[in-house]
Amino acid sequence: MKSEIAGFVLGMTAITALLSPPAGAGPSAYRESLTRRSLANGFERASVTVLEAERGPGREVIARRLLAALDARMGRRLVAVGLKQSRPDPKILSYVGESASLEVFTDGTKFRFRGDMDNPKELERTRGVKRPADERLEALGRGFIGKALAEYVKVAPGESLTFLGTRFLRSGGADVEGRIKNKGDVQASIAIFSREIDGIPVVGPGSKVAVWFANDGEPVAFDVDWPSYKRTQATQQILSWDKLRARVQAAAIAPTGSATSTVSRFECGYVDLGVTKRAGEVQAGCSISYESRDDDAAGPGAPKWAKIEFVPAGIHVLDDPHWPVAQFIAKNGEPRSRAAIYAGRGKDPGSLEER
């Protein structure tokens, strides 16, 4: 646990600091284990089967199904009464009401619903209730997914639903410079899930489900980005750890403007960039999560921020127009620097962040 990862990416801190959970989040034994294994062994597989992400039935179809289910009350505080469609958007179908909202994206494989989360009477009633423990949240989340979301979160043979940990929504505030002044009470606890396919985790924004619970265990919101995957006939050979490490060093970049940048997670698996960036084929890669504090606001209450980089792990990388690093390597071979990847593309976007 004292080994340095300076030779891994850009002179980061020791692995003991690497595994500390971000503010507002509970520790995740699963993610800590995945980071340790990925740091020690890289991808841990010599080859993988390339996947194909199947398109969903469409946002209109999923919106109709969800609105019907919510009217039938998926939970006491998950009610879609009074929702009206908002202004048209080419990617998002949105419904808004006084105490709820629903958004369904593109092909319908991603959607999010916010229920009666801010009801003053409910908040007062649960104010003194201790938030559920992580083990309880996992059980509540699995139960809700298996019952209320089973139609949308399908776990195929060879797949498994994995618990990534928890996050918390607090009622506290901050000053005009962003320093936290009052953590406040926990208003909602969020149980987050992903999946493994043939024992290989899916990393990135895709294949994620988050279920929000009030302190009394009532569900109040949920987020889903969950496509169905089909195994193709193609096999992708994986780089050795030494060569993968060299690719990460060339292609990834830590946050600038802070001397406290650390790698919080390093996870290898199938990379799904989420519904708006998901290509037809899903290939192997690694996710590198950086955390940093603003140097101009150092101290315990300083704002904390993060960015995520994705680097493909295959010997032969599949061209992906939504993933600049993969597209560059597929067309040009190994990058000598990140600058080379974005030459001629205009401004470097910085990272592909989870949204």
CA atoms within 13 A on the CB side of 84: 5
Task: Supply the pLDDT for residue 16.
Answer: 28
In three state form, how does the secondary structure of the chain look?
Answer: CCCECCCCCCCCCEHHHHCCCCCCECCCHHHHHHHHHHHHHCCCCCEEEEEEEECCCCHHHHHHHHHHHHHCCCECCECCCCCEECCCCCCEEEEECCCCEEEEECCCCEEEEECCCCCHHHHHHHCCCCCCCHHHHHHHHHHHHHHCCCCCCCCCCCEEEEEEEEEEEECCEECCCCCEEECCCEEEEEEEEEEEECCEEEECCCCEEEEEECCCCCEEEEEEECCEEEEEEEEEEECCHHHHHHHHHHHCCCCCCCCCCEEEEEEEEEECCCCCCCCCEECEEEEEEEEEECHHHCCCCCCEEEEEEEEECECCCCCCCCCHHHHHHHHHCCCCCHHHHHCCCCCCCCCCCCC
Residue 4 lies in a domain: no
Q: 300 or 207: whose pLDDT is higher? A: 207
Does 40 share its domain with 64?
no
Using the 3D structure, point to which of 169, 197, 226 is the last residue of a domain.
Answer: 226
Q: 196 or 8: whose pLDDT is higher? A: 196
List, for residues 269-327, the tens digit of each pLDDT value. 999 999 999 988 999 999 998 877 655 555 555 556 678 899 999 999 999 999 999 99
Task: Supply the pLDDT for residue 254.
Answer: 64
Does 122 share its domain with 44?
no
Does 32 share its domain with 63?
no
Provide the domain count of the chain: 2
List, for residues 24-73, the tens digit of each pLDDT value. 555 688 999 999 999 999 999 999 999 999 999 999 999 999 999 998 77
Domain holding 246, by residue range, is 15-53+236-342
Lowest mean per-residue pLDDT among 19-28, 118-127, 285-294, 326-335:
19-28
Does 45 share its domain with 76?
no
Using the 3D structure, point to which of 206, 226, 246 is the last residue of a domain.
Answer: 226
Distance CA 193, CA 208 (A): 6
User: pLDDT above 90 covers what percent of the chain?
Assistant: 58
Report the CATH number at residue 161: 3.30.310
- Is the pLDDT reported for residue 351 higher than 80? no
Residue 348 banded pLDDT, cuts 50, 70, 90: low
List, for residues 75-113, the tens digit of each pLDDT value. 888 988 889 999 878 889 999 998 899 999 999 999 999
Does 63 share its domain with 200?
yes
Interval 248-269 mean pLDDT:
77
Tell me the C-alpha to C-alpha distance, in Å, between residue 60 and each of 71, 101, 102, 343. 17, 15, 12, 39
pTM of the model: 0.84
Q: 238 or 13: whose pLDDT is higher? A: 238
Interval 219-234 mean pLDDT:
97
Does 173 share its domain with 60?
yes
Residue 172 banded pLDDT, cuts 50, 70, 90: low
